[in-house]
Amino acid sequence: MEKSKPFKYTGSLSKTIAQKRIGLLAGEDAYRAEAQRTTDEMFAKLPDLFKAHQVPEGNWVALTLALAKSHVPGFKVVKPAGRRTEWGIADKAEFRLDVDIVIGDSKLSVVEAIKLVCRLDAWKEKTAPMKISALEQHYYRADMRFI
Protein backbone atom coordinates (compact mmCIF):
# COMPACT_ATOMS: atom_id res chain seq x y z
CA MET A 1 0.00 0.00 0.00
CA GLU A 2 1.31 3.41 -0.94
CA LYS A 3 2.30 5.54 2.06
CA SER A 4 0.98 9.08 1.74
CA LYS A 5 2.58 12.16 3.25
CA PRO A 6 0.96 13.48 6.41
CA PHE A 7 -1.24 16.54 5.97
CA LYS A 8 0.66 19.74 6.78
CA TYR A 9 -1.25 22.35 8.74
CA THR A 10 -0.10 25.97 8.84
CA GLY A 11 -1.05 29.14 10.70
CA SER A 12 -3.31 28.78 13.72
CA LEU A 13 -3.86 25.10 12.95
CA SER A 14 -0.18 24.33 13.50
CA LYS A 15 -0.15 25.89 16.98
CA THR A 16 -1.27 23.86 19.95
CA ILE A 17 -3.57 25.25 22.60
CA ALA A 18 -1.65 25.51 25.86
CA GLN A 19 -3.70 24.71 28.91
CA LYS A 20 -3.06 27.00 31.85
CA ARG A 21 -2.07 25.50 35.16
CA ILE A 22 -4.75 26.02 37.73
CA GLY A 23 -3.77 25.64 41.33
CA LEU A 24 -5.46 23.31 43.76
CA LEU A 25 -6.99 26.19 45.63
CA ALA A 26 -8.63 27.71 42.54
CA GLY A 27 -12.37 27.63 42.56
CA GLU A 28 -14.81 26.03 40.16
CA ASP A 29 -15.09 29.33 38.27
CA ALA A 30 -11.39 29.20 37.38
CA TYR A 31 -11.76 25.68 35.96
CA ARG A 32 -14.86 26.67 33.97
CA ALA A 33 -13.14 29.80 32.66
CA GLU A 34 -10.15 27.75 31.47
CA ALA A 35 -12.41 25.17 29.81
CA GLN A 36 -14.32 27.98 28.07
CA ARG A 37 -11.07 29.62 26.91
CA THR A 38 -9.74 26.39 25.34
CA THR A 39 -13.11 25.68 23.73
CA ASP A 40 -13.25 29.22 22.30
CA GLU A 41 -9.74 28.81 20.87
CA MET A 42 -10.75 25.55 19.19
CA PHE A 43 -13.89 27.09 17.71
CA ALA A 44 -11.85 30.06 16.45
CA LYS A 45 -9.71 27.62 14.43
CA LEU A 46 -12.64 25.92 12.69
CA PRO A 47 -12.83 28.38 9.74
CA ASP A 48 -9.11 27.75 9.12
CA LEU A 49 -9.76 24.00 9.20
CA PHE A 50 -12.44 24.34 6.50
CA LYS A 51 -10.02 26.42 4.37
CA ALA A 52 -7.12 24.00 4.88
CA HIS A 53 -9.21 21.15 3.47
CA GLN A 54 -10.80 23.30 0.74
CA VAL A 55 -14.32 22.73 2.05
CA PRO A 56 -17.02 25.43 2.09
CA GLU A 57 -17.45 26.74 5.62
CA GLY A 58 -20.36 25.06 7.35
CA ASN A 59 -20.34 21.88 5.22
CA TRP A 60 -19.64 19.55 8.12
CA VAL A 61 -20.14 16.31 6.19
CA ALA A 62 -17.59 17.34 3.55
CA LEU A 63 -15.15 18.40 6.29
CA THR A 64 -15.62 15.07 8.06
CA LEU A 65 -14.88 13.15 4.85
CA ALA A 66 -11.87 15.36 4.05
CA LEU A 67 -10.44 14.79 7.53
CA ALA A 68 -11.10 11.06 7.30
CA LYS A 69 -9.38 10.84 3.90
CA SER A 70 -6.39 12.75 5.29
CA HIS A 71 -5.97 10.86 8.55
CA VAL A 72 -7.80 7.49 8.53
CA PRO A 73 -6.17 4.69 6.50
CA GLY A 74 -9.55 3.05 5.84
CA PHE A 75 -10.73 6.15 3.95
CA LYS A 76 -7.70 6.46 1.67
CA VAL A 77 -8.23 5.47 -1.96
CA VAL A 78 -5.14 3.99 -3.57
CA LYS A 79 -4.40 2.84 -7.09
CA PRO A 80 -4.51 -0.92 -7.65
CA ALA A 81 -1.27 -2.79 -7.10
CA GLY A 82 0.66 -4.14 -10.01
CA ARG A 83 1.05 -3.21 -13.59
CA ARG A 84 -1.70 -1.31 -15.39
CA THR A 85 -3.96 -3.45 -17.57
CA GLU A 86 -3.22 -2.81 -21.23
CA TRP A 87 -5.80 -5.17 -22.71
CA GLY A 88 -9.38 -4.35 -21.88
CA ILE A 89 -12.43 -6.50 -22.46
CA ALA A 90 -13.07 -4.91 -25.85
CA ASP A 91 -9.44 -5.40 -26.96
CA LYS A 92 -9.54 -9.11 -26.17
CA ALA A 93 -12.90 -9.53 -27.91
CA GLU A 94 -11.71 -7.68 -31.02
CA PHE A 95 -8.49 -9.71 -31.07
CA ARG A 96 -10.48 -12.95 -30.82
CA LEU A 97 -12.79 -11.85 -33.65
CA ASP A 98 -9.82 -11.09 -35.91
CA VAL A 99 -8.16 -14.42 -35.09
CA ASP A 100 -11.44 -16.30 -35.66
CA ILE A 101 -11.84 -14.64 -39.07
CA VAL A 102 -8.35 -15.83 -40.06
CA ILE A 103 -9.08 -19.34 -38.75
CA GLY A 104 -12.39 -19.50 -40.60
CA ASP A 105 -10.91 -18.39 -43.91
CA SER A 106 -7.82 -20.60 -43.84
CA LYS A 107 -8.45 -23.46 -41.36
CA LEU A 108 -5.22 -22.64 -39.47
CA SER A 109 -4.58 -23.46 -35.82
CA VAL A 110 -5.17 -20.76 -33.21
CA VAL A 111 -1.43 -20.16 -32.75
CA GLU A 112 -0.82 -19.88 -36.51
CA ALA A 113 -3.77 -17.49 -36.88
CA ILE A 114 -2.48 -15.36 -33.99
CA LYS A 115 0.89 -15.08 -35.74
CA LEU A 116 -0.86 -13.80 -38.87
CA VAL A 117 -3.09 -11.35 -36.97
CA CYS A 118 0.00 -9.93 -35.24
CA ARG A 119 1.25 -8.81 -38.66
CA LEU A 120 -1.86 -6.72 -39.32
CA ASP A 121 -1.39 -2.97 -38.93
CA ALA A 122 -4.17 -2.83 -36.34
CA TRP A 123 -2.33 -5.24 -34.03
CA LYS A 124 1.33 -4.84 -34.95
CA GLU A 125 2.23 -2.27 -32.29
CA LYS A 126 0.11 -3.71 -29.47
CA THR A 127 1.28 -7.30 -29.93
CA ALA A 128 4.96 -6.68 -30.79
CA PRO A 129 6.35 -6.91 -27.23
CA MET A 130 4.23 -9.95 -26.34
CA LYS A 131 4.90 -13.67 -26.55
CA ILE A 132 2.58 -15.90 -28.54
CA SER A 133 1.60 -17.76 -25.36
CA ALA A 134 0.38 -14.50 -23.79
CA LEU A 135 -1.58 -13.64 -26.93
CA GLU A 136 -3.08 -17.12 -26.91
CA GLN A 137 -4.27 -16.50 -23.33
CA HIS A 138 -5.89 -13.24 -24.44
CA TYR A 139 -7.62 -15.17 -27.20
CA TYR A 140 -9.03 -17.84 -24.89
CA ARG A 141 -9.90 -15.41 -22.08
CA ALA A 142 -11.91 -13.09 -24.31
CA ASP A 143 -15.39 -12.63 -22.86
CA MET A 144 -17.81 -14.33 -25.24
CA ARG A 145 -20.54 -11.78 -24.41
CA PHE A 146 -18.54 -9.14 -26.28
CA ILE A 147 -17.85 -11.25 -29.35
Same domain, 54 and 95: no
Give the domain-ending residue among 75, 97, 117. Answer: 75
Report DSSP state, residue 79. P
The DSSP letter of residue 8 is P
Share of the chain above pLDDT 70, in %: 97
Please check whether residue 32 is in contact with residue 109, taking contact to mean a CB–CB distance below 8 angstroms. Answer: no
Does 3 fall in a domain? no
Label residue 69 exposed, middle or buried (CB < 10 Å: 0-12, 13-18, 19+): middle
Is 81 contained in some domain? no
> Do 53 and 103 have their domain in common?
no
Full DSSP string of 41-69 = HHHHHHHHHHHHTT--TT-HHHHHHHHHH
CA 130 to chain centre: 28
Residue at 2 is within a domain: no
pLDDT at residue 1 tops 60: no
- Could you tell me if 70 and 15 lie in one domain? yes
Q: Do 135 and 97 lie in a common domain?
A: yes
- Give the three-state DSSP class for 116: helix
For residues 63 and 93, membership in a common domain is answered with no
pLDDT of residue 5: 67
Give the model confidence (pLDDT) of 41-100 as tens digits.
Answer: 999 999 999 999 999 999 999 999 999 999 999 998 888 888 777 788 899 999 999 999
| DSSP tag of 12 | G
Domain of 36, in residue numbers: 11-75
The domain tally of the chain equals 2
Same domain, 53 and 21: yes
